[in-house]
Amino acid sequence: MKFIDQVRIFVKAGDGGDGAVAFRREKFVERGGPSGGDGGGGGSVVFLADPQLSTLLDFRYQQHYRAPSGQNGMGKEKNGRAGTDLVLKAPVGTVVQDEETGEVLCDLSAPGQRFVAAKGGRGGLGNMNFATSTRQAPRFAQSGTPGEQRTLVLELKLLADVGLVGFPNAGKSTLISRISRARPKIADYPFTTLVPNLGMVQYKDGLSFVVADIPGLIEGASAGAGLGHQFLRHVERCRVLVHLVDLSAPGEDREPVRDYQVINRELERYSPELAKKPQVVAANKIDLPEARERLTAFASAMKRRRKQVFPISSATGEGVPKLLDQVAKLLFGKPGRKAGLEEAQRW
């Protein structure tokens, strides 16, 4: 399924029906009086957070939505039928924003949450409502009011507990495929991951958490470079970030400490709040000789920054349990009862 996380749509609620102008006309009933019924109310456009959905794909192909209008009133004091609400299902985590004002109208962050994006018009009153002792035969009725209409921007922000960030080919997809049942595309070239991937990690003692694999960031991502800038919104909700650093990355400009600084700089430029989130540093690909040679120097540099380094290999699984223990400690605030939370290896 194609992943769509931002769309622009137009919604129009139904108009209210007009009230009727009618008079009672029956045999042997003289001067029956007004009998015009009320118009029905228009249907509203309602968003419903559906946990079964994971993309805004449906809104990409249909961008105009109109709720049914109310029926006009009729004679014999018959009211018009109200228009039914138009319910639009959206993934949990969808933010509804008014395009014209930029105002965030609603954040559909809970399953089953509902939000009325456009309220239906009110039905008009029939002439029977305007009869008085001095005005016994009113020949007018009230018109229905138009329904609300607006252009909306829908933005999906994935609901995940942990976000994996790092340069392209840092091993994020390999790691999420090892710790969960997610099966993202894995290859030895940059930008293999084109969309975020979610995976459920079954931790110890019945605990579990959701991990999001965010496509690789590069320098200048916050200004639009590469692909990662399109998906930085998906780590805004994450409670913990796991920063994967590729210790085996070739090239003079791919020194591990510099990679770490570049990614953090881009996170801060995108959102200062994002840069303040708890972050676990994972030195990846230690199964390679060149990576092990860089490990001691990188760990020492991070120690001077008061950052603990967790050496891992996404490919072989080495060090991954300790990494998960630290993530669980930050998420749940206590160690697992069976194995406890071990600190990373010190050199």
Residue 175 lies in a domain: yes
Angle between helix 172-179 and helix 320-332 axes, rounded to 10 deg: 80
**Average pLDDT by stretches of 10, the chain with 347 residues:** 78 96 85 90 96 86 95 94 96 92 92 95 95 90 96 86 86 86 51 63 85 69 50 78 88 80 86 86 91 91 91 91 92 57 36
pTM over 0.75: no
| 214 and 257 both lie in a single domain | yes
| 181 and 120 both lie in a single domain | no
pLDDT value at position 14? Answer: 97
Give the number of other CB atoms < 10 A from CB of residue 115: 17
pLDDT value at position 248? Answer: 87
Residue 341 lies in a domain: no
Residue 129 lies in a domain: yes
Residue 338 lies in a domain: no
pLDDT value at position 226? Answer: 47
CA dist., res. 347 & res. 342, Å (int): 15
| 116 and 257 both lie in a single domain | no
CA dist., res. 309 & res. 60, Å (int): 42
Residue 135 lies in a domain: yes
Residue 99 lies in a domain: yes
Instruction: Show which of 156, 179, 208 is a domain's final residue.
Output: 156
CA dist., res. 229 & res. 84, Å (int): 40
Region of 196 on the Ramachandran plot (φ > 0 left; ψ -120 to 50 alpha; else beta): beta
Instruction: Show which of 141, 156, 171 is a domain's final residue.
Output: 156
The sign one gets for the Cα dihedral 89, 93, 98, 104 is positive
- With contact defined as beta carbons under 8 Å apart, do 274 and 236 qualify? yes
Give the CATH number, domain containing residue 313: 3.40.50.300
| 134 and 231 both lie in a single domain | no
Rounded to the nearest angstrom, the gap between the alpha carbon of residue 129 and the centroid of all alpha carbons in its chain is: 47
pLDDT value at position 177? Answer: 87
pLDDT value at position 250? Answer: 76
Number of domains in the chain: 2
Residue 1 lies in a domain: no
| 151 and 247 both lie in a single domain | no
Q: Which domain holds residue 238?
A: 162-332
| 193 and 146 both lie in a single domain | no
DSSP string covering 270-305: H-HHHHTS-EEEEEE-TTSHHHHHHHHHHHHHHHHT
Give the CATH number, domain containing residue 57: 2.70.210.12
